[in-house]
Structure formats: structure tokens, C-alpha cells
């Protein structure tokens, strides 16, 4: 951003010739013209007011660099929500206002939050309200002798200044004519600006001033004896060197004006020109008039537009700026203005700019003009853009079709705005259109017309009726549902019904009827209201159930399980199900549903019978939930439940023994021994004593059906006959179990012989001998292993810690080859060394502990005890220490710190008479 104080001026372009006057007879009775061009879909939107639903903007998103063509815009048309709705200001609603432009043409428009001032080609000035109706004034408005070129209104809206082609400036009060005056000039005046504070009371007379421009910029102040003029800019000797002044804008102490060289900005307080914004050289390449628009956003920011470029400029204090910004002529800091002008952004456009105004979020509204070879192809566009440096993003682009465009040139189009109200006025010779911000009703209309019902619902829901007057959530929802049904999108329609219908029973019943008529009631069923806060009538739910019963039995069962049974008459549904089952009794799905329905009305015996018949796993939940244990016991359902799911049945039977007696269950399960074994086994795992009377039966069942659990059971039970168990195992040739039983019966020799003869497992035999810890068994094992070298090796590895290994070594035959003998001997020696080391270590630990305990005992014995004057003898309850020498006696103090008179403990046994009885009591208890 560079300082523009000494920027060079660009050459003045040649002004175009005045447009020839056209024959306007055909415009005297104009036909209604659409404000916005037809949309690509072919829809035309006519009328004096256009809602956003009828808007067909040629929107194009993405960053533009000025090279985009109309063809590119046509290829990428996005359905973007519009920013504005459009209305004709001078409409047929007011005949008086509508006639203004029938025989006359608009040349300028000034806007104020209170009213509008319209200047015409015939020199008339019309004061209108913001709706386009004539305002009633008590003062006359003077008329110019030629076209009105510019109008300016002060901030209070009490005075306005008008400049005309006749060389006059009228300063006219709208309420009072006290400060009215007229300025006459020798040349046409193209621009005028009235002081913003012209009508503010208490100000000095110099503020009763205007600024106008022709070939010079002139400040005219009202004085006592008439207006006083001061030339602010322009050569007095050679006026018009910089071209005519075409635009003036005044804000506070700052004024900006445009001529052929560019836009200059002056501080009126200092009477110094701050800087120049030159017209961009590239802009002069286009064959367009030198048209400029200026808008002050605040006292330090203004925007300037030329036909194909616009600048965003800021004014900053030179004192706070860097000192590097000096002119090439070597000006000193004292000669420089107090402010400097800096271009913040400069944007080139591929369309001609007719006017500019601020929008929201650092965006701007531009009135664009596309000129082509064909007059009928000329397009006036209202654009919203997001500027960047040299580039911009096109947010929206609305193509406007105005009246009399065939008779209007580029310079005839103007844009005036009231940003605080969101109003933008597009002015052409024969039409004035106002762009207004969309209200929520307009947004909803636009969304509904494009089928965006969900977004329309969101907008209406957020507003909650505060701003929306035309629409309501219910009507939007009904239109949405109807739209979806016509498209056969019943799934989506059903899903949004709760959101749209809420707690309106009539609306719900209406939609249910529509879905039922279309045969899609099953789709709506999951979304029907079922909460306690809001429910429909039972007949509605029964209708849905009846539909499912006839068409989708799986869905019928699912709904029965999901819906609260309080929604409908359960008995009526049961009767309907029974009617269907009578015609076809083998429908398991309906039987399951019938069982669930019986459980709802507490007929649990019927529900249980159905579930048992179906062998349905939910039978266990039914029994547990409603505690039907007595029913299970009385109806002897143990086997039936085991056939459904043995694991769940056993858990149920074993965890509820009090309600389902073990005796009854065993009596039922005797018909199915595998089921009985599972039941008894689970009882044994739960409590090893509770089923002790059936342990003999359990042994037999294990041998028959699950031999792997036999040994574990016998090792943990003491309530079965060893002899009977041995006979059973002998019949089944269950050798490990026989070995265990022989050892429990006191016959370990036979058990060892069984291991050696039947199992021939030396490792198991060695483990058995270790468990029994019997030398005779070891001798038997040694005798058995003497002619078996491999057995000898195993014995040598394991016998060292239980039997003297020399016994085995001496009995080995000479010359017998024993595999791994050396390793076995080394293992024996290592075991011996380990034993010696352990003994020595234990001895050292014992000696050390004894010594430490002895030292502790000596210290304890050597410790003294204090006997104070208040101590009493526990035997005689008198003071232990005598008060005088005559009553002195011996004193005995024990390790427990109890003190006695010696005479009192002569007959006492060893130890303290107080502590010794306690110790004896604790010992015997």
C-alpha cells in the first residue's frame, strides 16, 4: 500500500457525446416488465414485486480474475440462496407516483433513511417516501431549467442541495426555508454535496455550506449578505485542466471528488488535499465514459469505483505512520498533510461498474453492466462480491430486466444505498428498483420452491414464529410430507413425521390414513408416538397391528416386542391372532407373538406352555422375570427346558433349588441320564455336600457319560462307596481311577503294581511313591526297575531326595548298560551338595537368630523399672512405697512392671500373680 499524495495524473479521456433523445411515445403506457431475468429452467417471474422464490440469479462461485466469460457463467450455475428481493419503486399501486417517469426520465436519486429525492430530465425534483409514494411538503421545491444532475441531503434530512444542467444550485429546506439560497454558475454543474451538519443548530455560519463542481471544485458558504464562493481545487487561469468534476461526497471534515484524473480527497479543516486515487490505466482501455462512484463507509474509509476497477482506501494519520513515505520532490514533513491516503484493496472486474455500496462481512454490492454488440443483450446485474487484491469472489449475481433499457446507456444507471436498512436502489431513466433483504418468509418461499423442505423446516423452527408471518411449521411440514409422498419417498416422510407432526393427534391420524391408503403403513409404524407423554388412540395402533398381522408376521412380532402393550387392547389382538392360527396352526412366529401377548395380560401359564412348545430361548427370561419356578416344578418341565437350552436350564434349576426342589428335578431327569449328570455335576460345583446322597449315582453316570470328570469328582468327594466305585471302574477298565481308589482303600502296593503292569509309566509310579512316602513302595519299584535300564535312569534322577541312592546303585548288575548314567550320578551328587548347603545355611541362620534373641533378652533383663509414690500393691491395695521407715518392707517388681510387697507374694506361684492367670486362661482357650 503506497501513499498517493504525489501520484501522477492519467490523461483525460474524451467525453462521449450526449445521447440523442429517443421517441418515448411507446413508453407512455408500458407493460409490466420482469425485474429479474428468466431462470435457466425457463420460468418467468413477472409482477411489481418479486419474492426470492421467483428469483433466478446467475450465480457463479469461485475466485474471479477478470477473465471469466458469460459462457463460463452459464456452464456453472449454482442454486445459491439469493440475498435480495426486488420491488419497483414507482409501481402502479400509486398512480401519481407511477406517472412520474411516463413522460419524464430519472437522472439522479438521493436517499435518506426518511425519504428519497428524485431528479428528472425536465428539471423537477420529487420527494418520495421509501415506498415510492409522494411526500406531502409544506414548502415548494424549485425547478431547474434543465436536467437535474445531482442531489445531496444533509444528515438530519432537513435540507437538500440540487445541481442542474442550467448552472444553478438550489439549497432548499424541506421544513423551513430560513437558510435557503441559490448559487448561479456560468457552466453546467454536474455534482454537489451539502454539509452533513447543515441543519444542526448551534453551529457557526461557515457550516451552512455546500460544495459543487463543474470545471473547478467550489466551496460556497452562506453569509449575511449572500453566498461566498471559494475555489478548493482547479486552476483559476486555466479551469478544467483536470476535467469536469463528476462526483462529490462529503463526510465529516473529509470531502472526496472525482474528475478525469482520478479521485482527490481533502481535509476541509486543514484545507489540504490528502492524496489522489488515479484512475487505473487498464480501466482507460475500455470504451466506457469516465464514470466514477464514491462512497464513504466512515470518516477514515471510502470506496471508489471506475468502470472496471474499484478501490478500498483508508485514511491514516501521518504522524502515526512510518517516516519513509516522502514525495520525490523532497518535501519536508512540515509541508506534508496531517493525513495520508492508502489503497487497501484494488479489484478489477470483467463487467462495467455503475455504482457501489457496502454490504455485510466486508462484502460489497455492485451494480454491473454488460454491454454487447446487440442492444437487446445488455444486462444490468446486481452483484454481491467478496474482494481480494486484484481478484474477487462472486457471491451472488442477479440479472435485472428494467423498463426502457433500449433507451438507456451505461452512464444512465446509478446505485444508491441505505446499508443500515439493507436497501439498494437501482436507477435507470424509466425505472427505479429497490433491492431489499430477504425476510424469513422470503427465504422459506425460496427453499420450498426448490424442494428444500428440510432447510425450510430448520429456518422455521429456529425462528419459532417471531418473524415469520406467512408460513408456519405445520403447513411447511404438510407440504413436505405431501411432496415426499408424491415422489414415493415414504421412508423419508415417515422419518420426519415426529418432527413435523409433534403432538397433534389429528395431524397424525391424517398422515396414518394417507400411508394406509398408499399401502405403506408398515414404513410409518416405527415412528408412531409411543411415549407416556403423548399417545394416539388405541384404534390407530390396532390398525397398524392388524396390517402387520395380515401382511408381515415377522414385523408383527417385532412390534409386539417393541411397543408398550398399554397402547392397544391386548385381548382384541389376541383374538385376532387366534383367528389366524385356527386357519393355520403351525405358524411359529404367531405362536411366539401369542405367548408374548399372554404374558402382557399375566396369563403366564399359557405363555410358558407356548414357549416350551416352541423351544424358544425366551422361556427362561419369562420364568425368571415372573418367577414361575413353582410352575416348572409342578408341570415337570425340567426335561423340556433342558432340551431348549441345557446350560440355561441347569443354571435356572440350580440357582432356585428352594422353589424347584432338587428331589423333583432328579426324579424328572432320571429318564434322561445325560441331563441328570449335567444337573448333578453343576450342583457338585456349586456345593460339594448338597447332593451327597446322589454321589454314588453320580459316579455311575460319570463312568457312563463323562469319564474325564470321574477322577476329579472322586478326589473332591467323600460321600460315595469306594468299593462300588472300584467295581465300576474295574468294569470300565479305568486304571487311573482304580489306582486312586486302591490308594484310598489302603492298598498302595496293589495300586503301584497296577501302575507298573497296566500303565507301565515309571514317572507316574515315581510320583505315586513320593505321594505315599513309603520305603516299601520304593523297594518294590527298585526291584521292578533292575532289569529295565530306562527305568533305572528315571529312578536315579528322582530318588535322591527320598531314598538313599546307594541302595539302587549297589543292586545294579555289573555290565548293565544304563543310558545317561553319568548325568544321573551327577544329578545325585548335586542333590546331595544342595542338601548339605541348605543344612549349613539353616544352621547359620538359626545361630544368628539365637544370638540376636539372647542379646535382646539380656537387654530386657537389664532394664530398670520405675515405681512411683502413687503405685499400689495389687494384692493388698496399699502403697508400695512406705511412708516411714518403720512400715518399710521388701519390694518385688516383675518384668510386666507390676510391683508387690514381698510379703504379699510369698505364697504366690512363679510369675506375676496378675498376669499369670491371664496367660493360663489364654493358653487353655
Helix/strand/coil (H/E/C) assignment for every residue in 86-104:
EEECCCCCCHHHHHHHCCC
Rounded to 5°, angle at Cα 808 from 804 and 812: 155
Contacts of 71 (CB under 8 A, 6+ apart): none
Contacts of 11 (CB under 8 A, 6+ apart): 284
> Helix, strand, or coil here: 193?
strand
* Cβ contact 729:737 at 8 Å: yes
> Helix, strand, or coil here: 81?
coil
Rounded to 5°, angle at Cα 337 from 331 and 342: 100
* Cβ contact 450:480 at 8 Å: no
Please give the grid coordinates belonging to residue 628: 414361575
Tell which residue, 482, 500, 361, has the closest CA to residue 419.
361
Please give the grid coordinates belonging to residue 353: 461498474
Backbone angles phi, psi at 900, to 5 degrees: -130, 155
Please give the grid coordinates belonging to residue 645: 437350552
> Helix, strand, or coil here: 595?
helix
Give one DSSP letter per residue of 632-690, joined into a string: HHHTT-HHHHHHH-HHHHHHHHHHTTTTS-HHHHHHHHTTSHHHHHHHHHHHHHH-TTT
- Rounded Cα gap, residues 434 and 86, in angstroms: 6
Q: Is the dihedral of CA 399, 403, 409, 412 positive or negative?
A: negative
- Rounded Cα gap, residues 460 and 476, in angstroms: 9
What pairs with residue 192 in β-bridges? 212
* Cβ contact 144:162 at 8 Å: yes
- Rounded Cα gap, residues 654 and 178, in angstroms: 111
- Please name the residue that has the C-alpha cell 502403697: 879
> Helix, strand, or coil here: 833?
helix
Q: What is the pLDDT of residue 827?
A: 81
DSSP annotation of 243 reads: -
Give the distance, in angstroms, between the CA of residue 264 and the centroid of all CA atoms in the same chain.
52
Please give the grid coordinates belonging to residue 617: 430361548
Rounded to 5°, angle at Cα 177 from 172 and 181: 55
* Cβ contact 676:699 at 8 Å: no
Task: Give Cα separations from 659 to 73, 204, 332, 662 (angstroms).
Answer: 84, 108, 111, 9
- Rounded Cα gap, residues 345 and 312, in angstroms: 5
* Cβ contact 363:347 at 8 Å: no
Q: What is the mean pLDDT of each run of 10 residues along the chain (925 residues)?
A: 33 30 32 46 35 35 34 51 88 74 92 94 93 86 94 94 95 90 92 91 66 92 84 68 85 92 90 88 70 92 92 85 46 72 90 92 91 63 90 89 84 93 93 91 86 83 70 83 89 90 90 91 92 91 92 92 93 93 89 92 91 90 90 88 91 91 91 92 91 92 92 92 92 91 90 86 86 85 84 79 77 81 80 86 93 89 81 85 76 84 78 72 45
The CB density around residue 614, as the number of other CB atoms within 10 Å, is 16
- Rounded Cα gap, residues 458 and 472, in angstroms: 12
Give one DSSP letter per residue of 388-410, joined into a string: -SB-EEEEEEEEE--TTGGG--G
* Cβ contact 551:522 at 8 Å: yes
- Please name the residue that has the C-alpha cell 485514511: 315
* Cβ contact 3:340 at 8 Å: yes
Give the distance, in angstroms, between the CA of residue 528 and the centroid of all CA atoms in the same chain.
27
Tell which residue, 540, 480, 486, has the closest CA to residue 510.
540
Contacts of 68 (CB under 8 A, 6+ apart): 60, 350
DSSP annotation of 779 reads: H
What pairs with residue 218 in β-bridges? 212, 231
* Cβ contact 21:407 at 8 Å: no
- Rounded Cα gap, residues 352 and 28, in angstroms: 30
- Rounded Cα gap, residues 262 and 915, in angstroms: 120
Task: Give Cα separations from 259 to 248, 265, 305, 322, 425 (angstroms).
Answer: 10, 12, 12, 30, 24
Tell which residue, 443, 408, 441, 414, has the closest CA to residue 427.
414
- Rounded Cα gap, residues 873 and 913, in angstroms: 11
- Please name the residue that has the C-alpha cell 428494467: 402
Burial grade of 561 (CB within 10 A; 0-12, 13-18, 19 or more): exposed
Amino acid at each position: 500500500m503506497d501513499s498517493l499524495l504525489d501520484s501522477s495524473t492519467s490523461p483525460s479521456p474524451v467525453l462521449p457525446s450526449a445521447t440523442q433523445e429517443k421517441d418515448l411515445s411507446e413508453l407512455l403506457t408500458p407493460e409490466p416488465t420482469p425485474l429479474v431475468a428468466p431462470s435457466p429452467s425457463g420460468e418467468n417471474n413477472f409482477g411489481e414485486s418479486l419474492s426470492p422464490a421467483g428469483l433466478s440469479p446467475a450465480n457463479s462461485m469461485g475466485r474471479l480474475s477478470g477473465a471469466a466469460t458469460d459462457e463460463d457463467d452459464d456452464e456453472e450455475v449454482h442454486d445459491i440462496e439469493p440475498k435480495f428481493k426486488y420491488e419497483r419503486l414507482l409501481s402502479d399501486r400509486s398512480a401519481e407516483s407511477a406517472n412520474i417517469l411516463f413522460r419524464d426520465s430519472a437522472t439522479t436519486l438521493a436517499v435518506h433513511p426518511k425519504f428519497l429525492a428524485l431528479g428528472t430530465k425536465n428539471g423537477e425534483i420529487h420527494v418520495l417516501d421509501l415506498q415510492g409514494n409522494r411526500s406531502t411538503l409544506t414548502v415548494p421545491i424549485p425547478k431547474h431549467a434543465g436536467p437535474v444532475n445531482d442531489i445531496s441531503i444533509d444528515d438530519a434530512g432537513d435540507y437538500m442541495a440540487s445541481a442542474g444542467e442550467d448552472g444553478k444550485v438550489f439549497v432548499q429546506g424541506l421544513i423551513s426555508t430560513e437558510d435557503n439560497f441559490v448559487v448561479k454558475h456560468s457552466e453546467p454543474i454536474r455534482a454537489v454535496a451539502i454539509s452533513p451538519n447543515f441543519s444542526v443548530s448551534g453551529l457557526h455560519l461557515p457550516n451552512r455550506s455546500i460544495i459543487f463542481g463543474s470545471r473547478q471544485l467550489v466551496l460556497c458558504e452562506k453569509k449575511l449578505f449572500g453566498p461566498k464562493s471559494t475555489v478548493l481545487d482547479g486552476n483559476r487561469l486555466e479551469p478544467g485542466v483536470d476535467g469536469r468534476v463528476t462526483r462529490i461526497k462529503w463526510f465529516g471534515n473529509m470531502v472526496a471528488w472525482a474528475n478525469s484524473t482520478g479521485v482527490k480527497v481533502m481535509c476541509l479543516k486543514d484545507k489540504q488535499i490528502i492524496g489522489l486515487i488515479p484512475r487505473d490505466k487498464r480501466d482507460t482501455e475500455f470504451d466506457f465514459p469516465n464514470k466514477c462512484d464514491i462512497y464513504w463507509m466512515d470518516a477514515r474509509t471510502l470506496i471508489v469505483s471506475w468502470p472496471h476497477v474499484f478501490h478500498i482506501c483508508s485514511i491514516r494519520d501521518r504522524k502515526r505512520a512510518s517516516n519513509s513515505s516522502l514525495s520525490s520532490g523532497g518535501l519536508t514533513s512540515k509541508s506534508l498533510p496531517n493525513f495520508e491516503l492508502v489503497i487497501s484493496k484494488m479489484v478489477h472486474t470483467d463487467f462495467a461498474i455503475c455504482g457501489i455500496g457496502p454490504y455485510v462481512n466486508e462484502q460489497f454490492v455492485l451494480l454491473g453492466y454488460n454491454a454487447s454488440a446487440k442492444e437487446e443483450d445488455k444486462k444490468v446485474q446486481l452483484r454481491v462480491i467478496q474482494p481480494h487484491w486484484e481478484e474477487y469472489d462472486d457471491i451472488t449475481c442477479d440479472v435485472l430486466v428494467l423498463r426502457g433499457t433500449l433507451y438507456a446507456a451505461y452512464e444512465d444507471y446509478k446505485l444508491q444505498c441505505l446499508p443500515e436498512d439493507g436497501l439498494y436502489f437501482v436507477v435507470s431513466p424509466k425505472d427505479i428498483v429497490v433491492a431489499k433483504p430477504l425476510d424469513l418468509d422470503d427465504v422459506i418461499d425460496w427453499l420450498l420452491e426448490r424442494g428444500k423442505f428440510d432447510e425450510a423446516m430448520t429456518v422455521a423452527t429456529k425462528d419459532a414464529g417471531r418473524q415469520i408471518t406467512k408460513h408456519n411449521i405445520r403447513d411447511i411440514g404438510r407440504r413436505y410430507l405431501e411432496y415426499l409422498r408424491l415422489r414415493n419417498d415414504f421412508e423419508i416422510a415417515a422419518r420426519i413425521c415426529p418432527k413435523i407432526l409433534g403432538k397433534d393427534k389429528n395431524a397424525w391420524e391424517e398422515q396414518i390414513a394417507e400411508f394406509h391408503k398408499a399401502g405403506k403403513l408398515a414404513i410409518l409404524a416405527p415412528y408412531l408416538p409411543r411415549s407416556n407423554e403423548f399417545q394416539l388412540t388405541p384404534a390407530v395402533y390396532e390398525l397398524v397391528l392388524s396390517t402387520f398381522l395380515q401382511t408381515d408376521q415377522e414385523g408383527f412380532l417385532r412390534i409386539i416386542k417393541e411397543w408398550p402393550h398399554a397402547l392397544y387392547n391386548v385381548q382384541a389382538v389376541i383374538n385376532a391372532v387366534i383367528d389366524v392360527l385356527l386357519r393355520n396352526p403351525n405358524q411359529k412366529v404367531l405362536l411366539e407373538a401369542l405367548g408374548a401377548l399372554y404374558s402382557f395380560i399375566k396369563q403366564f401359564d399359557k405363555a410358558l406352555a407356548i414357549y416350551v412348545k416352541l423351544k424358544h430361548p425366551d422361556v427362561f427370561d419369562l420364568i425368571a422375570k415372573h418367577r414361575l419356578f413353582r410352575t416348572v416344578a409342578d408341570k415337570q418341565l425340567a426335561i423340556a427346558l433342558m432340551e431348549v437350552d441345557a446350560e440355561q436350564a441347569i443354571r435356572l434349576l440350580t440357582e432356585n433349588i428352594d422353589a424347584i426342589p432338587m428331589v423333583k428335578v432328579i426324579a424328572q431327569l432320571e429318564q434322561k441320564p445325560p441331563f441328570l449328570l449335567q444337573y448333578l455335576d453343576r450342583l457338585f460345583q456349586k456345593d460339594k455336600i448338597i447332593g451327597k446322597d446322589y454321589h454314588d449315582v453320580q459316579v455311575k453316570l460319570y463312568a457312563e457319560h463323562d469319564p474325564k470328570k470321574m477322577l476329579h469328582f472322586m478326589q473332591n468327594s467323600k460321600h460315595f462307596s469306594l468299593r462300588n466305585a472300584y467295581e465300576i471302574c474295574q468294569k470300565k477298565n479305568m486304571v487311573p481311577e482304580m489306582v486312586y481308589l486302591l490308594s484310598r482303600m489302603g492298598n498302595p502296593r496293589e495300586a503301584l503294581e497296577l501302575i507298573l503292569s497296566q500303565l507301565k509309566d515309571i514317572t507316574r509310579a515315581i510320583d505315586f511313591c513320593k505321594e505315599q512316602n513309603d520305603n516299601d513302595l520304593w523297594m518294590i519299584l527298585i526291584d521292578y526297575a533292575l532289569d529295565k535300564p530306562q527305568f533305572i535312569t528315571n529312578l536315579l534322577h528322582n530318588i535322591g531326595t527320598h531314598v538313599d541312592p546307594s541302595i539302587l546303585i549297589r543292586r545294579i548288575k555289573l555290565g548293565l548298560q544304563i543310558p545317561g548314567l553319568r548325568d544321573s550320578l551327577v544329578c545325585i551328587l548335586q542333590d546331595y551338595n544342595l542338601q548339605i548347603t541348605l543344612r549349613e545355611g539353616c544352621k547359620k541362620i538359626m545361630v544368628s537368630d539365637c544370638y540376636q534373641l539372647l542379646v535382646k533378652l539380656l537387654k530386657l533383663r537389664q532394664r530398670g523399672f520405675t515405681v512411683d509414690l502413687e503405685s499400689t500393691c495389687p494384692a493388698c491395695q496399699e502403697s508400695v512405697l512406705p511412708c516411714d521407715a518403720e512400715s518399710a518392707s521388701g519390694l518385688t517388681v516383675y518384668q510386666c512392671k507390676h510391683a508387690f510387697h514381698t510379703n504379699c507374694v510369698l505364697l504366690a506361684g512363679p510369675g506375676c500373680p496378675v498376669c499369670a492367670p491371664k496367660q493360663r486362661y489364654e493358653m487353655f482357650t
